[in-house]
Structure 1
Amino acid sequence: MDHVNSGYSKDGCFVSDPSKFRQSGYWNYASLSEEQIQHVKSSLPLLQKSVLHTKSSFEFHFGVVDSQWRLLFAKLVSPCSA
């Protein structure tokens, strides 16, 4: 098996509560307009589940909209070694 150390204590895909993402403020550093930031903030309460893929460090944040699960945010930032 091809094992790459992701830097996490466990490797795989993990589901969690989205509260960490809600509080993160990543959108404040994404070169968004004020209107786009307000749209992000108004969408945050809809979040219900977050999924972390440790191999890529990507995060996917889901919520229910119109009775269907939707991907509302994707954090595709690779961690740096700084």
Structure 2
Amino acid sequence: LKINQTAEVFLAHGQGLPSLVDEPDATSFELRNGQFILEMDRDIGRLIVRTDKRFKNRLHTGNSVINLNQWPDSGLMIAPVSNCQQ
């Protein structure tokens, strides 16, 4: 199982953020409506996200949006599973 990352959207362009269309697996990079948008087609086995309460950290999946700031100022590992018990 893999995660397929299709985009990153961010408001501030700074150190460590993508800056060019030749980033790995990038398909386009643009400034749209005041946001930097890097579109991509990237398969990922696991995704590490560092949340920051100053920003709107969100994960968009299929039909839902998960607010990652419910775990503020944390490092989160997101990995696909074949069966999720609730």
TM-score, length-scaled by structure 2? 0.26
| More strand as a share of residues | 2
| More helix as a share of residues | 1
